[in-house]
Amino acid sequence: MGWLSRNAARTIATTYSLISRGGRWTSVLAMIAGASIWRLLSAIPFCPTLWPDAVILVRLPGFHGYLRFLSTDIFLFQELWIDRVYDIHPDVKPKPDWTVVELGGHIGMYAILLGRTVDPGRGGRVLTLECDPGSYRILERNIAANRMEDRVFPFQAAAFSHRGEGAFISTTRTIDSHLEGFGNASAKSRLRLRHSSLGRIKLTTLDTIVEQERITTIDLLKINIEGAEFEALKGGTRKALGLTRRILLVHEADVPFSEITDFLGTYGFGLKESVGNIYYLSK
């Protein structure tokens, strides 16, 4: 069964890679087909363990880089590049001279999208943090594939309330991976059906990043870290939150969002817009 499933995965990935080289529209069709196949395979009990590192090079509209075929990476492309789920307010669209700090960089989809606008010649840059080792490896490859080493800077760490080490639950369904003790209820329930592993990862703080990178202004702080967002914000109380102008936050914590808004209100932030569980706050 293991040999069969591994070779089936290789065959599917190879086919997808060949189709995706055909151009813009065949790439879109390949993406849709790949998503459908993934949904079908994910219902099979042995599927989550069959070759989870099937990384393929794709050319999708505006994006040239790497995806894990048997994962949720392809859905993120649709959300971020096609549906533009983060564009909930005109003020979150980056300017060339912006400094953006992204917590939860995953494989670089949003960082690369931002990197198309920020201009290092005008001081623009994107700092993206990702703690999952598998996602971080692809993040680095995608930055290189899109030639954005001069404007997108990756850090392998999780933003938290303090520095040190933490336990991280990594799953084949990559959007459900999270720090142990966090993660939303639906993610935790899905983990019972998905292959997962527990590892140790580096914890850092927003204040540490600000000091190390000599940041004077954070024009946009984007947070999507599967339930640990409040802890990450607590790590910026000494300096980072005072330097931040805008926050784009995906709320998945067990903590009520009202507690987060009350906390951020003490630093001058107010809620400007929300769509689903995505919130835009600014000063």
- Domains within the chain, CATH numbers bracketed: 1-83 (no CATH), 91-282 (3.40.50.150)
**What per-residue confidence (pLDDT) applies to 12?**
44
CA quadruple 175, 177, 179, 181: dihedral sign:
positive
| pLDDT digits (tens), the chain, 283 positions | 333 334 444 444 444 444 444 444 455 555 555 555 555 544 544 444 444 456 777 776 677 888 876 667 777 777 888 889 999 999 999 999 999 999 999 999 999 999 999 999 999 999 999 988 888 999 999 999 999 999 999 999 999 999 988 777 765 555 555 555 555 544 444 444 344 555 778 999 999 999 999 999 999 999 998 888 999 999 999 999 999 999 999 998 778 999 999 999 999 999 999 999 999 999 9
**What per-residue confidence (pLDDT) applies to 171?**
58
Longest dimension (CA), the chain: 57
**What per-residue confidence (pLDDT) applies to 24?**
46
Are the beta carbons of 155 and 209 closer than 8 angstroms?
A: yes
Residues in the chain: 283
Please, which residues bridge with residue 134 across strands? none
The crossing angle, in degrees rounded to 10, of helices 2-20 and 24-42 is: 160
User: CA–CA separation, 133 vs 8, rounded Å?
Assistant: 25
CA-to-CA separations, 229 to 39, 127, 155, 264, 279, in angstroms, rounded: 28, 17, 17, 12, 12
**What per-residue confidence (pLDDT) applies to 33?**
58
**112 is written with which tokens?**
């690369």
**240 is written with which tokens?**
């980072």
User: CA–CA separation, 271 vs 210, rounded Å?
Assistant: 24
